[in-house]
Structure 1
């Protein structure tokens, strides 16, 4: 089996579970450290000629990470693809188990077993906090309905104020975000790299939590440690003064 992954979290999952199966990955596939496979460009604009040259038995894609036009082009060229689209933690765990079994894993890897235990063992949040979750600025883009990251936060006691929006990634103006009167603003470091000096100043007087985007949005080995990492970062929220 020869696999090319255009999804960073799946790259990590396959590389750690089935060494030797992965033959290609994107330039953005940074985990595991020291991964030595052919690089085929970015997730959004991969070099499909390089992908085909690797003679993959399967190419891994994701609905949000990759473009439909690239998936269609690979299929038209006779390259088998598997498109993932988890929108909940349970869905991600199930998709990972199915994928790894299909690729030849004799049993669930230890990291996947640990991830199941970590998420199953979470206590029910006593008092969920109402939050907005920007994932981009200029323009502002926030998490809306039916997203994997939204389910991750829900399980950790964060209620997304845009979870009922018609769009999965609404683009409200900053004044609208403030008018929602959030009790918390969640700012991940990817896809936009929010930092202490870039993001929180737009929400003076509101606690802001800087989160690891990898632990919030990746579905792979990082799922095992995500509950503890994200819970600590949420608890470490900082309120920036008005003015």
Structure 2
């Protein structure tokens, strides 16, 4: 069977894959949710959900660098990648020997399309349809709940020293928009480095969101950024709900609802 991934690449899979390597943490979690844990043979060191998986599966490297010898020994039927998470070099090297599916996610719709592709490839259509229906229903309900909220200007940070924010053309920016937030760095592309002057320019009605990943922001960093800007409200947020685009989306909108209710006025 010939499938087309989200980069419009053609991949040939003869039957439902029995040996899967996932090089994308959120997609690894998705496989487990769909009941495919036993078919997973290899993952990355960043595949932290579910917690026990790294003790039971072969770790083939990270998302940017993999051990090709380990991958060959696992003899996978398919390898799952993502355009942003993995490098072009990794995909080009792996596709010489294996079927490689590459996702490319900028929106919830992209994510549900990817999940539906997995349903076709892994013959899990019923499980996928239930999951996608839940995600779409949760999204519709949440959009209604926040539609009349005052629009907040938001700076979302993923790193410090240098301070790196989230700009346009990212999945996180899309989720900020769904939260009825105005991304103050939307005029910048992808993940821009932001100056201290730009952070200081945020006003008292604005929010500064510090993500739990990839940089592990904590309470001490709230104090650090408040020394730069004493006007904006600073919050720690769970970065997995803002950036993971697999089955975690089914719970993301409940998290966003709690975030608004408890912290955003």
Cα distance between partner residues in 1 of 2:260 and 2:220: 18
Q: CA deviation at 1:103?
A: 1.8
Cα distance between partner residues in 2 of 1:96 and 1:53: 27
Q: Would you say 1:170 and 2:166 are equivalent positions? A: no
Contact 2:22 2:80 in 1 (8 A): yes
The equivalent of 2:112 in structure 1 is 93
Report the CA distance shift for 1:80/1:159 in structure 2 as closer, same or farther (over 3 A): same
Q: Deviations over 1:33-52 (max 9, x none)?
A: 32222211212222122122
* Aligned-partner SS, 2:38: coil
Cα distance between partner residues in 2 of 1:139 and 1:176: 13
In the TM superposition, 1:1-243 aligns within 5 A as 1=17, 2-17=19-34, 18-35=36-53, 36-76=56-96, 78-109=97-128, 110-122=130-142, 123=144, 124-126=146-148, 127-165=150-188, 167-181=189-203, 183-202=206-225, 203-237=229-263
Report the CA distance shift for 1:106/1:235 in structure 2 as closer, same or farther (over 3 A): closer
Cα distance between partner residues in 1 of 2:73 and 2:217: 37
The equivalent of 2:11 in structure 1 is none
Q: Which has the higher helix share?
A: 2
Cα distance between partner residues in 2 of 1:63 and 1:234: 31
**Residue segments in structure 1 that go unaligned for 5+ positions in a row:** 239-243
Cα distance between partner residues in 1 of 2:175 and 2:65: 28
Cα distance between partner residues in 1 of 2:262 and 2:63: 32
**Residue segments in structure 2 that go unaligned for 5+ positions in a row:** 1-16
Q: CA deviation at 1:199?
A: 4.2
Contact 2:135 2:249 in 1 (8 A): yes
Question: 2-11 or 180-189: which moved more?
Answer: 180-189
Q: CA deviation at 1:200?
A: 4.9
Q: CA deviation at 1:13?
A: 0.7
Report the CA distance shift for 1:201/1:233 in structure 2 as closer, same or farther (over 3 A): farther
Cα distance between partner residues in 2 of 1:88 and 1:200: 32
Q: CA deviation at 1:99?
A: 2.0
